[in-house]
Chains A and B, each alone.
Chain A
Amino acid sequence: MHPIRKQRLFVVLFIVVGSSLAAFFIISALKQNLNLFYEPSRVANGEAPIDRQIRVGGMVAEGSLIRQTNSLAVNFIITDFAANVAVEYTGILPDMFAENAGTVVTGFLSESGTFFAEQVLAKHDENYMPPEVSAALDSAKQSATQLNN
């Protein structure tokens, strides 16, 4: 083969093999790290998996926030006003975290139905509601009105 052609072939092979390897790694890493969002209603329905990291979002139910007195462990309930999810978290809550405010938590659901949060996010200013939370509240509201009719 002509040396230039041979060299081009090498380069093309390198790019093809390299990029398919890269694509394989990228996609498998992506698959492992996708966190799907669940509304409290879907968690209550048993739709959420227990073996992988997920996100749950809704409002922090009024009067549900309980702090342990000797550690930073907290318990609270996330609600979409149709169903509740009990959450346990150890650590510092964000500045804007409060009862009756929207939140999104990332973590694992246990067999018992308690959600062990590893990360708690809250809205970052007064007027802002995470879009996923407002969608969750809307869909819960809709199904509630359908039931009433």
Chain B
Amino acid sequence: MIPEIGHFALLLCLPLALVMAIVPLIGVAAKNSVWMRFASRLAVMQWLLLFFSFLALSYSFYIDDFSVKLVTLHSNTALPWYFKLSAVWGNHEGSLLLWVLILASWTLAVAVASNSIPLAMKTRVLSVLAMISVGFLAFIIFTSNPFERSLLMTPSEGNDLNPLLQDIGLIIHPPMLYIGYVGFSVAFAFAIAALLEGRFDANWARWTRPWTNVAWAFLTVGIALGSWWAYYELGWGGWWFWDPVENASLMPWLAGAALVHSLSATEKRGVFKSWTILLALLAFSLSLLGTFLVRSGILVSVHAFASDPERGLFILAFLFLVIGGSLLLYALRAPVMKGGTAFALISRENFLLINNVLFSISLTVVLLGTLFPLISTALDLGSYSVGAPYFNAMFAPLGLLTVFIMGFAPFITWQKFKLFKHQSIQWALCFLMALLLSVLLIHTLSQQFSVNFNVFAFVVSSLCLWLILNTLQHFFFRLKQGGRFFHSFSQLSLSYYGMVIAHIGLAVMVLGIGITSIYESQKDVRMAVNDSVSINAYRYQLSGISSVTASNYDATRASVDVYHRAKGESSRLITTLYPEKRFYRASRNMMTEAGIDASLTRDLYVALGEQLEPGVWAVRVHVKPFVRCIWLGAVFIALGAILATFDKRYKRSNSVRSEPALASPPNH
């Protein structure tokens, strides 16, 4: 009964969303505020219905209701309760339900938190969000019903959740990623609303910015979690594979990074208006493209749950509708936009422009590398794949250039930047200090890991340290400007703190990527008990092999002792790692569970390959310096974006602006 009620609630949402997409817009045209206000109520109802529907599906998973097909296919009585619940979105249908629930949640948030925005604008935004909701609800209802029952008989046991997905990282990775993906729909809706209304002022950018920041922050965390999960769960120690599915999430992130920055120029100086609108349309379109790539089954990966051409066609049609429709509207309305005030060649406006150019080029690189194989296959030109070296070769220079330019960014003033002599001296000193610290860092690293001094690593770390030091220099410069030292801490705006933290985060991330890529070492070896293998300063010794039995799998567990010998010291035991090879009984899948000793400066990593003969295993060992910095940097970036969202100016402007919105007279 519960699944039927859940299904019914889901079905009800479609007409509800349709009404919400049309009626309030008519209200806007007719200046009828009663009809306009209707949108918020519908947003609340839609959210309640979808939340209930999602609860119903979760309940079916929780109680192992195998009469529901989805539960049979993706769950099992032996699963612990938290994996039963995360199995809800470990499949195509359930993850779509999560998707629409998150869309409804964003819609609800806009409805509740935007009382200060003029009613007509808010109504348009909500209606556009409802249109997107209609598309996804139709998709889920007509092609991917999660509540479908098995008609013939109820199986007594389920097929189990894919063991790869039985992991804490995978419980939170999809919701985070979806919150980010779907969050761009708000920026999209604001852009469409602005195009409909023909209003593109600084206020528009101020309303859109917090939403965009939050969405981008969640997307950052989601991507980082996915990378972290791949690192320890896929068993091979890689943290980014340039896999099309990863690229599908990276593209909206790059567009979002450009959007976050161009919005600031639009808000503060009224420039780049039409470009900002275009980016907002692009970011969400890329989210949809990502959904299409992942959900249509044309890509081969862990994420491709089901290949069903009908589903692919549906999303493709929806994609064309959204992109085509929004670009058409853009083409009709964008010429109305007027540029802001003029600015000099060296100005913050132009620095933000350079940021946007760099991110757009990166986006093109990923887009081309991801779509080319698909297009060539579709046109029968041969089945290509694009190798990771392509992406690496493009991203290394782009990333380093970005980091170098970002070092100057906070100092550059709006409109026109005047370079004073003391300023250039400070920069030069800062750069020298970065070089010095970088020599020290790379030298220490080479000592610690017994590797050679690498010039490229030196370049990478110099640039990253330059960015960190110069950003900090600007921060202290601002603190000193504020008068009394501790008083001025509270004087600086949250969005400034956000910028400082996010920029330092990027430096930390690039540093992590650079050092790991250059200094990581890996060996695949054949090992019996008491065999050992040395990597640089580390020695891994296989000390034992045992069997382990858990509720839903059997495993072979090895114990590997790791010894370290720094230059001129004697070898000492650091840790013992326990990598496992698991056999999941229900799905008859083999899984590799890596043994990792993590620390900020290096990860020691062991994974079991296959058993070659009794007691002899193929083993992969890694030493990965600074790999944690990659995810730490991502957390900083997300934190910075969130901090900027809580800037006082978004609240203050809201309370000031709330009066005209409330005062707009109802039209009877």
Interface contact A33-B610, CB-CB below 8 Å: no
- The verdict on B361 contacting chain A, using a C-beta distance below 8 Å, is yes
- The verdict on B384 contacting chain A, using a C-beta distance below 8 Å, is yes
Interface contact A126-B589, CB-CB below 8 Å: yes
Interface residues of B in 549-590 (CB under 8 A from A): 587-590
Question: A26-B365, A55-B385 given. 18 additional CB < 8 A pairs?
Answer: A3-B342, A7-B343, A7-B344, A22-B364, A26-B394, A30-B368, A33-B386, A33-B393, A36-B384, A67-B612, A72-B524, A72-B525, A72-B618, A92-B524, A93-B609, A95-B590, A95-B610, A96-B590
Give the residues in chain B near A35, CB-CB below 8 Å. 384-387
- The verdict on B661 contacting chain A, using a C-beta distance below 8 Å, is no
Give the complex CA separation of A18 and B612 in angstroms. Answer: 53
From B365, which residue of chain A is reached at the shortest CB distance? A26
Interface residues of B in 390-441 (CB under 8 A from A): 390, 393-394
- The verdict on A46 contacting chain B, using a C-beta distance below 8 Å, is no
- The verdict on B75 contacting chain A, using a C-beta distance below 8 Å, is no
Give the residues in chain A near B343, CB-CB below 8 Å. 7
From B300, which residue of chain A is reached at the shortest CB distance? A130
Interface contact B368-A92, CB-CB below 8 Å: no
22 contacts between A and B (CB under 8 A): A3-B342, A7-B344, A11-B350, A11-B353, A14-B357, A15-B357, A18-B357, A19-B357, A23-B364, A26-B368, A29-B390, A30-B369, A30-B372, A33-B387, A35-B384, A35-B387, A37-B383, A37-B385, A72-B618, A95-B590, A95-B592, A106-B385
- The verdict on B620 contacting chain A, using a C-beta distance below 8 Å, is yes
Interface residues of A in 23-57 (CB under 8 A from B): 23, 25-26, 29-30, 32-37, 53, 55
Give the residues in chain A near B525, CB-CB below 8 Å. 72
A positions within 8 Å CB-CB of B: 3-4, 7, 10-11, 14-15, 18-19, 22-23, 25-26, 29-30, 32-37, 53, 55, 67, 70-72, 90-93, 95-96, 106, 124-126, 130-132, 135
- The verdict on B302 contacting chain A, using a C-beta distance below 8 Å, is yes
Give the residues in chain A near B186, CB-CB below 8 Å. none
Interface contact B361-A126, CB-CB below 8 Å: no
Q: How close is A131's CB to chain B, nearest CB, in angstroms?
A: 7
Interface contact B612-A92, CB-CB below 8 Å: no
**Which of B386, B588, B589 interacts with A34 by CB under 8 Å?**
B386
Interface residues of B in 320-360 (CB under 8 A from A): 342-345, 350, 353, 357
Known contacts A92-B618, A124-B302; decide if A70 and B526 are in contact (CB<8 Å).
Answer: yes
Known contacts A15-B357, A22-B364, A96-B590; decide if A33 and B300 are in contact (CB<8 Å).
Answer: no
Give the residues in chain B near A96, CB-CB below 8 Å. 589-590
Known contacts A29-B393, A29-B394, A124-B302; decide if A95 and B591 are in contact (CB<8 Å).
Answer: yes
- The verdict on B274 contacting chain A, using a C-beta distance below 8 Å, is no
Interface contact A25-B524, CB-CB below 8 Å: no
- The verdict on B389 contacting chain A, using a C-beta distance below 8 Å, is yes
Give the residues in chain B near A29, CB-CB below 8 Å. 389-390, 393-394
Most chain A C-beta atoms within 10 Å of own C-beta, residue among B353, B357, B383, B618: B383
Give the residues in chain A near B369, CB-CB below 8 Å. 30
Give the residues in chain B near A72, CB-CB below 8 Å. 524-526, 609, 618
Most chain B C-beta atoms within 10 Å of own C-beta, residue among A11, A72, A90: A72
Q: How close is B27's CB to chain A, nearest CB, in angstroms?
A: 42
Give the complex CA separation of A23 and B526 in angstroms. Answer: 45
